[in-house]
Structure 1
């Protein structure tokens, strides 16, 4: 997820960046943050899909955040905007530009956290990750990159499109890392599959988009099939994953 911070105050830019990074660390979210000290520099680099979220200070010396937001809306109406300002004077104008939120300085981390939760709900595009120890080093793995996971010889194996990450840990310790993400289905002993990568299924297996086959537990076959059917129904009716 790409985020821009536009504010002519160095202190305010740094405060916001530090708190966004804190949010990313606490919630296991990946964001690329770019800061700008003026609106012209930001607009010169902005194009459609450049940023998913822009934080805009309303009062800047050479231009206003409201003016910048109007330009954003002309170029990219899907980009989320959160205003940061020392005055409530422009709140109505801000929300007419479909701003996601309006943070009044000095705002707290908890207020920013609430705004980012709202952004996550609106976008469903935050890039969550898990962190695994691989050998002597820790590796971050994006949730959306995981195809399936299994367990072999005391190692968790996380299969992605690019490689397999192996981490020495029990499946009981690993499973809760993915348990809160609805796209993961426990389909047989010590194996979880990302349902976004399932292409089809037959009487015994899930067939993945990679052409790999993942067995379906015989003892829990009906339960597993129903869970997958419910997930597909949610995807079809909402146009997005749950």
Structure 2
């Protein structure tokens, strides 16, 4: 069961999306439940943990969609966000809230279908992708999409996730083999970064959306930059 929320202040657009989702449910055999909101404020008062995919209008009165998404990302990094807009002027801001998909008004069924199916695929992939780290008496199961970056300090490995950090005895080379997703890149002899959380790449550092900085070695910069641009090209539709 996929939990979808629509946050849209135009009743006509809200009804059209519902109609399209009903069509997808019948033709693609997708089970879903839908929640409807007419403002960002109303959405934020609801239960965000019950949402897998959010269709979020950018231009709403009072709190706009981009500010609403920023509030969501303070407490939830897993939700898939699809922006609804009349103008594709918000791509750079979308990076900040890990939202790479946009639906242009007037919304078309095939475009909605493409984005929804991609989100469902990503949700299923994220649920099945994790790494198991054994550390003396502890065994950690860490979901890959929650890892921001990994670093080596002396003989210890620090795995920085969205919620906490894990200090373990482990090899960077070994965990690099376990990170099956293309979004992880070795940017330094002592660092691996998840491109999903990168906001900006500079010659010597990757700046994360949280403001944290991860070093990039000089001879790896070109490769990291190319992978970052490819990642953005693959995810922005």
Unaligned runs of 5+ in 1: 126-235
The equivalent residue for 2:16 is: 15
Match of 1:116 in 2: 116
**Considering only CA atoms, is the larger Rg found in Structure 1 or Structure 2?**
1
TM-score (norm 1): 0.50
The 3 A distance-change label for structure 1 pair 124 and 9 is: same
**Which residue matches 1:36?**
37
- In 2, the alpha carbon distance for the partners of 1:19 and 1:237 equals 36
Change in 2 beyond 3 A, CA 1:26/1:238: farther
Residue aligned with 1:123, SS: helix
Contact 1:55 1:84 in 2 (8 A): yes
SS in 2 for 1:68: helix
1:54-96 CA-to-partner distances (Å, cap 9, x unmatched) read: 1100000121000110011111100110000111121221133
Q: How does 1:1-242 map to 2 (within 5 A)?
A: 1-47=2-48, 49-124=49-124
Give 1:148's aligned residue. Answer: none
**Aligned residue-pair number:** 128
Q: Which residue of 2 aligns with 1:227?
A: none
Q: Which residue of 2 aligns with 1:163?
A: none
1:94, 1:102 within 8 Å by CA — same for their partners in 2?
no
After superposition, what is the alpha-carbon deviation per residue over 1:107-128, rounded to whole angstroms, capped at 9, x for unaligned? 2101111111211221118xxx
So what's the TM-score if we normalise by structure 2?
0.51
